[in-house]
Structure 1
């Protein structure tokens, strides 16, 4: 979220949502041109007295009609976009079924059930008095956690909508980020650089630790949950020993805020995005200094989501979702796009969709099932055309040049 959210805090974005491109619209436009040809151009029957020629022309028109009908009847491969009245701060997929939670700037959580045919609002939770900051499901998908600028942390039963736990004045500063550890434990980070560990079964925090001077932008841990790694607005990566409840290491100070993180290669590699568009790669447990760095994009990277052990999708200020193969590093192309900056990314429980929310007050879904086979067909020894790959549209993009993409892989 970073600087983008902080600029939009307390106000809604008034940008209009981008309508999805589709091949249907292009074909339909061609059909209208056929139907509204200039009167000076004779019809098939007028132009040709020869009956065979007229029949051929009619056959061509029939083919156009068939193409239009076939495109209209084509099954969608992803849910339709969701557009809301209020600025969207965060999104989170349920880990067990086709539900997505949308947190907005007025303090509400909207729960949508999605399919390829529709995205249906099933519940609205009016939880917070001020702008939401984060919404997350626990691993069971039964409990939904939310944080807000009102310094309140809430745990809500997803099925009944009843409140399970409420921590008022949970931090001295507004809570910025929340991470679930299991069905009862979670950690939070605030605008002042303090993190806290919580257990739903206890009335207060288990421990509190000051790790920096600026907001905690993201937090991550692996399956062992021994170390919690925190990215900060002060450009420092801090790690905490959760078992010992103490600071483990702090990194060198980078030249921009650290905004987002992801784990790869069986949780042995940590990737960190920055406000200047750089990506830093760390070995797990070696958080003091990165082992490699890349230029991800020219604008700020605000969010990322790992989609395979090798591939990450990032986005941010330019509104473009980019896929990058990290080992070795190679740009793959554009997964999707928004007209305005992207605030958040998440991946569905079955790995089929990525959802992205932007300052258009919309959520878009991108079918990324093709990534399952992408690793096996990429020839990493093939010389890369970086300029082409940076602007190349992958099959999920609403702008189609997928054939060009696949032809360049082998």
Structure 2
């Protein structure tokens, strides 16, 4: 049984380009593909645009055996031939040539096929003419889909707003059921990266079962030949990107190309009641299961009861899903979750609506989408909705804020509307009437303010020059219990690189008051708020563990604190309430000695027996386990670009764990020196370790067997802590209590910069902006130092900006991912046993947030 569609009788327009007969291109054999499938051997591929998608397409083309030349109009980009990522993967067959700045028409015309990045309009480089001439011009998306295994089901999501969130939710749901899933496209990793992974040995089985792909209208400008989703979703359509698409009709036609190759049992979801989409879908719809978002057959949501009702007869679906347990902010996310759920069910991978219920409360929206940043000391909640780059996205976010007064920040670079004299902000009058006030900013700030005022805005509206000034106004206007919400309704390019840059800038401004957390040897966890002009104030005290609290980390963008203990448990604690979020009672087989952040959703832990584990904080599950060392893990650091986790140990070795391959990839030779701390320096070329006899051992990246250099006699005593300041300098904390600034290659002590006390320094960490340095030692004191004063050049150790005395202290944390020290079982426990129960209790670790 097929669902009723708008028109089952219309045939699809011919979208495939004609075969081409271009001349062979000869390029220098500088790069060799290591892939097993060489379907493009002997062919040449031109990659136009070297952003993230273009670079991924270039890697894929080389892996498929093609000769590649890559174009970009930016003359300042690095040549792909000099990119380590390409050098590591390939070494000779198949040419690679990068052309920057100038356009070489002959090379482009002679290519067998041309792959266009989404950021490149077809008007550039004569691409439109090439496409019309029959040249094989294709999108990065279609180029990847051509080689993707047919067994991989594709869930494709497009629409003006909400697509990133729906894709993220769908990926989280599939992961909840243990289904191997690639999540990417316009969000995060390009689809070419998924195809590349599938070509890598061993390739007998696909690397994943489902690819959840966010698709932008730019990616669909060139009609696809191979990209054919199993489930396709068009969430909505409102004016956006019209400077490129021209009219709403053309914009809708581009979006609906997502359905044009789908037939049979495949599911299409279309928002109900949009005239442009209704007309576009008629022009090229095959017979498929078409269902509606907001009508039956399809999914409807009762916002009062927070219940989604699904009815899709062709799929045998007739059930309901309770969404009330969702923790993400904004009423529009109930719709996003419901659409994600029906999309996952439509994939026919063994998941039904009822099974999805338990994972609803675990759903987390991607960053900068109504993201709760923090709640400050004045009781004001800061919300980052920087992804709202058009009025409709802002409207959706504001509609979920009716029950809470907010100061709303609107501004940036307003977008073009289709043949309209207004800018669209008059639509916000209704949801804004519930809010505290509006502050406009940026290049369109005056225009937005005038539009709102002319259309009867009933709340105060203030004009600020830029986002920083807007935030200052917001602080003065917000009251206890309010929210400050950045939901700009505009593009970011007047002041920022992109919406992510704008969102991070806003988050930095939100943390005017910072957090520092400490773990104590009696198992307690303390949280302090601090500022440059006041003594830190304790705001939270929790008894976290039955034994010492050895390691602490902020996670979930500072909304939770992760702690580890000799009782073998790992605990996640809510920053605002002190409530337990999750506890793993037997996380390790021995004392948990170290925690570090890896990505937004993964952390690593190390124990006293040399075991390292990697954890998914969303799933609360272990991803990887490495028996890396014979003795305690003293420190770890993470190289995100290569996904390698480095660890040091009391056994005198440095280990390199490959998270992609789930194995210990390298280990240094045994040293008689206990290695206590580790940092990566010199733009990833050097790894520096400190030892218990005061030396620094330097390893060259990739040559970990033995150190390449030693900095001897740095200190007559143990150097317990290393903290990276920049690529050439680090800060050390020694057993004597001295904190020093040290240069690496050339190796030199630049100067002592502070003296914590006569007791050993146990931890160092920066605030997120590096304005403050935090230190802890065996003297019961947490000290905060002003970095500007420390680096002024005085040869005398500085005095702390602020200090707090605490008892029974064992650990501290200040930043999302600072290196910090936790000496291992032999030396560390000896110190603790000596002072436990006495008046000389001490910190052992620290972390700062904000």
> Does TM-score exceed 0.5, indicating one fold?
yes
Per the alignment, residue 285 of structure 1 pairs with 702
Mapping of residues 3-402 of structure 1, within 5 Å: 98-115=514-531, 116-138=533-555, 140-224=557-641, 226-295=643-712, 296-337=714-755, 338-369=757-788, 392-394=795-797, 396-397=798-799
1:265 CA drift (Å): 2.3
1:353 CA drift (Å): 1.5
Structure number with larger C-alpha Rg: 2
1:309 CA drift (Å): 2.2
Cα 1:232/1:293, change in 2 over 3 Å: same
CA contact (8 A) 1:310 1:326 kept: yes
d(CA) in 1 for partners of 2:654, 2:674: 10
d(CA) in 2 for partners of 1:111, 1:343: 18
Per the alignment, residue 403 of structure 1 pairs with none
CA deviations 1:369-394 (Å, max 9, x no partner) are 257787xxxxxxxxxxxxxx9xx425
d(CA) in 2 for partners of 1:180, 1:209: 17
Cα 1:263/1:317, change in 2 over 3 Å: same
Larger relative strand fraction = 1
d(CA) in 2 for partners of 1:315, 1:269: 20
d(CA) in 2 for partners of 1:297, 1:202: 43
1:219 CA drift (Å): 0.7
CA contact (8 A) 1:139 1:182 kept: no
d(CA) in 2 for partners of 1:155, 1:202: 13
1:215 CA drift (Å): 0.3
d(CA) in 1 for partners of 2:671, 2:799: 33
CA contact (8 A) 1:125 1:161 kept: yes
CA contact (8 A) 1:307 1:371 kept: no
d(CA) in 1 for partners of 2:775, 2:725: 14
CA contact (8 A) 2:729 2:741 kept: yes
1:320 CA drift (Å): 0.6
Identify the range of structure 1 (193-202 vs 246-255) with the bigger mean alpha-carbon deviation.
Answer: 193-202
CA deviations 1:147-177 (Å, max 9, x no partner) are 0111110112222323222111111111111
Cα 1:163/1:182, change in 2 over 3 Å: farther
d(CA) in 2 for partners of 1:264, 1:185: 23
TM-score w.r.t. structure 1 length? 0.66
CA deviations 1:343-391 (Å, max 9, x no partner) are 11111111112111111110112222257787xxxxxxxxxxxxxx9xx
CA deviations 1:185-208 (Å, max 9, x no partner) are 111111001111111233532232
Cα 1:142/1:284, change in 2 over 3 Å: farther
d(CA) in 1 for partners of 2:684, 2:556: 18
CA deviations 1:242-273 (Å, max 9, x no partner) are 11100101101111110001222233322110
CA contact (8 A) 1:228 1:242 kept: yes
Which sections of structure 2, spanning at least 5 residues, go unmatched?
A: 1-506, 801-850
d(CA) in 2 for partners of 1:163, 1:181: 22
1:183 CA drift (Å): 2.6
d(CA) in 2 for partners of 1:100, 1:203: 24
SS at structure 2 position matched to 1:369: helix
Per the alignment, residue 491 of structure 2 pairs with none
d(CA) in 1 for partners of 2:724, 2:687: 11
Cα 1:181/1:373, change in 2 over 3 Å: same
CA contact (8 A) 1:148 1:175 kept: yes
Q: For the aligned residues, what is the CA RMSD? A: 2.1
1:136 CA drift (Å): 0.9
Per the alignment, residue 133 of structure 2 pairs with none
SS at structure 1 position matched to 2:599: coil
Greater relative CO (CA pairs within 8 A, separation 6+): 1
CA contact (8 A) 2:753 2:790 kept: no
Cα 1:135/1:227, change in 2 over 3 Å: same
CA contact (8 A) 1:173 1:190 kept: yes
d(CA) in 1 for partners of 2:543, 2:656: 34
Per the alignment, residue 31 of structure 1 pairs with none
CA contact (8 A) 1:139 1:180 kept: no
Which sections of structure 1, spanning at least 5 residues, go unmatched?
A: 1-93, 375-388, 399-410
CA contact (8 A) 1:99 1:111 kept: yes
1:216 CA drift (Å): 0.5
Cα 1:352/1:193, change in 2 over 3 Å: same
CA contact (8 A) 1:138 1:182 kept: no
Cα 1:268/1:314, change in 2 over 3 Å: same
d(CA) in 2 for partners of 1:269, 1:164: 38
Cα 1:211/1:157, change in 2 over 3 Å: same
Runs of at least 4 residues off by over 6 Å:
371-374
CA deviations 1:54-83 (Å, max 9, x no partner) are xxxxxxxxxxxxxxxxxxxxxxxxxxxxxx
